[in-house]
Amino acid sequence: MNRQSRTPPDADTVHSAYSARAHEYIDLLGDIDTTAPQDRALVTRWARGCTGRVVDIGCGPGHWTAYLTDAGVTAEGIDPVPEFVDHAQRTYPQVQFRQGTFDDLGGLPDPLGGVFSWYSLIHLDPGDVPGALETMRASLAPGGRLLLAFFDGDHVEEFPHAVAAAFYWPLTTMIDTVHRAGFTVTHREHRHDPGHRPHAALLAHRD
């Protein structure tokens, strides 16, 4: 059951909020060493199964894009926040980054081997998530892979994220939504680390 309490912020509002706090975000979270070892292990496992180019959508400061590149993947980071893209380009000059949104996945010249979506859906109105997943699927080659991470919760429910309003998703609900978008889920996990909100992730491939 969806327990939204109010209208979620639009994309421009979210992007502006991240722009205003970009340097703070980078200082707190913009380094791979701030990530959990379990998450790095999962991402490495996923990356090794990808064939072809991978897009890190909503790449933020670019640390995960660089990590994918170091894992042997041809990766590109895309983010709507110019401050993040500028930082990523300076910090990881060996990696490709550009400013963009989910809509840019629809205009790629060649199908992708993978889409890496690490918390990039959390600010979307839940009603817009199926369309975003369908756009991801359309960008992938047959058998192309998806890694999706998000905040786990008992309900699809808005909460006051530090930057902009975001949503919890029950893992089972997100799995059903990913299935309906045309993916087969091959792995799922969730945990609640002390001092952090509940985390969930899943691996899937395009049917």
Cβ atoms of residues 125 and 95 within 8 Å:
no
Q: pLDDT tens for residues 137-150?
A: 999 999 999 999 99
Q: Buried b vs exposed e over 165-193: b needs ≥16 C-beta within 10 Å?
A: bbbbbbbebbbebbeebebebeebeeeee
Q: Are 175 and 185 spatial neighbours (Cβ–Cβ below 8 Å)?
A: yes
Q: pLDDT digit string (tens) for 123-171?
A: 999 999 999 999 999 999 999 999 999 999 999 999 988 777 899 999 9
Under a CB-based contact definition with an 8 Å cutoff, are residues 66 and 87 in contact? no
Q: What is the pLDDT of residues 29-51, one digit of tens each?
A: 889 999 999 999 999 999 999 99
Rounded percentage of the chain residues whose pLDDT exceeds 90:
77
Please compute the mean of the pLDDT values over residues 2-30 and round it to a whole number.
75
Give the chain's end-to-end CA distance (angstroms, integer).
27
> What does pLDDT average to over the chain?
92
Short-list 97, 54, 91, 98, CA closest to 72: 54
* 52 conformational bin, left if phi > 0, alpha if psi -120 to 50, beta if neither: left
Rounded Cα distance between 50 and 14, Å, is 30
11-121+135-206 to CATH, choices 3.40.50.300, 3.40.50.720, 3.40.50.740, 3.40.50.150:
3.40.50.150
pTM: 0.92
Which has more confidence, 18 or 111?
Answer: 111
CA distances from 88 to 41, 123, 152, 162, 166 (A): 22, 21, 28, 22, 24
> In the chain, what are the domain boundaries?
11-121+135-206
**Are the C-beta atoms of 88 and 58 separated by less than 8 Å?**
no
